[in-house]
Amino acid sequence: MQLGIFTVGDVTPDPTNGTTPTEYEKIKNTIILAKKAEEIGLDVFATAEHHNPPFASPGNPPILLSAIAAQTEKLIVSTATTLITTNDPVRLAEDYAYLQHVSDGRMDLMLGRGNTGPVYPWFGKDIRDGIPLAIENYDLLHRLWREDVVNWEGKYRTPLQGFTSTPRPLDGVPPFVWHGSIRSPEIAEQAAYYGNGFFANHIFWPASHTEQMVRLYRQRFEHYGHGDADQAIVGLGGQFFMRRNSQDAVREYRPYFDVSPVYGHGPSLEDFSSQTPLTVGSPQQVLERTLGFRDYVGDYQRQLFLVDHSGLPIKTVLEQMDLLGEILPDLRAGFAEGRPAHIPDAPTHGARVAAAGGAHDATVYAGADAATGSRAEDAR
């Protein structure tokens, strides 16, 4: 079981005092937060990708993730999510393979479609093609990491003739991919088809919805022959605000919740807490609620929490991390309790290399002409 945090990188005013961090502060705080994640013993840090204010998450996550990988030793860096719709799959293949080398395999990535319509035309795409883009682009990405020379033609980008994406995956094993979704069953189906991980956003919608999505993914994972349904690779989001005394947590968090960019001005903190996995209370309450997620998705592989959003100051966020660190041993023990032996662990680079029969270097050494089998003048 991997435990970690994910950030949306929103630059939101602190509603209690009106101060807003600069982009510089938010970006540096994000790196501080990632290092803190390693310090308290978490396994994963994942960043969102955004292309518009009020976000200071990177437009190209590997830039941030490389910096974090350079300043940590054990932490797995990932995305939550990187956009499989508007990014060129060739760039994704190159950038994340490069990150794989830079981080010595301490990385994976989660793909999403993006949560805002306007982003599509900024990159020459149409939101109505969201699902077809996610399907075609990932299929190409999948091939670029598994075939040294790719000939490809599709609908949404220029064709590739004899193309080799570099660098080749570290140790000959492509990065592990999660497919993230709030509500699209097509994405659960896509994850199942490839035997990739499925990450349910979980934090915005009722548990009953997540339960349905994960069940579909598990059924289809088995259908496509990747293993039994309970061996599918499942991740969940979560969010909490903790204080030692639960009333203090509610009192302190409410002003942030009430004007939160996503659900603010809507349901009450109490209603939203009962309708979604949000837990505002004592560390013990967060521990118990989190361990309860298994009741409706089964034993799973990755739990990521959102901790640094809605204008919460970095000092408070780091205090939340300290409290998370305190319950971490109990979380790990709780998740391990009663977990059947045939349930796989979350994929890591090391485990995937071992499963592939050991590391083999996949470098394509040949010059460009020999690698692609053609010369520039042949294209005329």
Q: Which of residues 315-354 bind another protein (CB under 8 A)?
A: none
Closest CB 325 distance from another protein, rounded Å: 30
Closest CB 266 distance from another protein, rounded Å: 3
Site string for another protein, 165-184 (x = CB under 8 A): ------------------x-
Closest CB 87 distance from another protein, rounded Å: 25
Site string for another protein, 214-253 (x = CB under 8 A): ----------------------------------------
Decide if 39 contacts 338 (C-beta within 8 A). Answer: no
Closest CB 206 distance from another protein, rounded Å: 6
Q: Which of 6, 145, 152, 204 binds another protein (CB under 8 A)?
A: 204
Query: In this complex, which beta carbon is closest to another protein, that of residue 209 or of residue 289?
Result: 209
- Candidate segments 21-29, 186-194, 212-220, 256-264, binder of another protein by CB under 8 A: 256-264
Helix (H), strand (E), coil (C) string for the chain: CEEEEEECCECCCCCCCCCCCCHHHHHHHHHHHHHHHHHCCCCEEEECCCCCCCECCCCCHHHHHHHHHHCCCCCEEEECCEECCCCCHHHHHHHHHHHHHHCCCCECEEEECCCCCCHHHHCCCCHHHHHHHHHHHHHHHHHHCCCCCEEECCCCCCCEEEECCCCCCHHHCCCCEEEEECCCHHHHHHHHHHCCEEEECCCCCCHHHHHHHHHHHHHHHHHCCCCCHHHCCEEEEEEEEECCCHHHHHHHHHHHHHCCCCCCCCCCHHHHHHHCCCEEECHHHHHHHHHCCHHHHCCCCEEEEECCCCCCCHHHHHHHHHHHHHHHHHHHHHHHCCCCCCCCCCCCHHHHHHHCCCCCCCCCCCCHHHHHCCCHHHHC
Residue 265 as a binder of another protein (CB under 8 A): the answer is yes
- Candidate segments 189-197, 268-276, 297-305, 333-341, binder of another protein by CB under 8 A: 268-276
With CA atoms as reference, report the closest residue to 170 among 87, 108, 91, 83. Answer: 108
- Candidate segments 54-62, 214-222, 259-267, 294-302, binder of another protein by CB under 8 A: 259-267
In the block, residue with structure tokens 């971490």 = 328
Residue 13 as a binder of another protein (CB under 8 A): the answer is no
Closest CB 187 distance from another protein, rounded Å: 16
Query: In this complex, which beta carbon is closest to another protein, that of residue 150 or of residue 203?
Result: 203
Residue 272 as a binder of another protein (CB under 8 A): the answer is yes
Residue 270 as a binder of another protein (CB under 8 A): the answer is no
Q: Which of 13, 41, 154, 267 binds another protein (CB under 8 A)?
A: 267
Q: Which of 96, 120, 256, 263 binds another protein (CB under 8 A)?
A: 263
Residue 209 as a binder of another protein (CB under 8 A): the answer is yes
Q: What number of chain residues touch another protein (CB under 8 A)? A: 14
Interface residues with another protein (CB under 8 A) are 183, 204-206, 209, 262-267, 271-272, 275
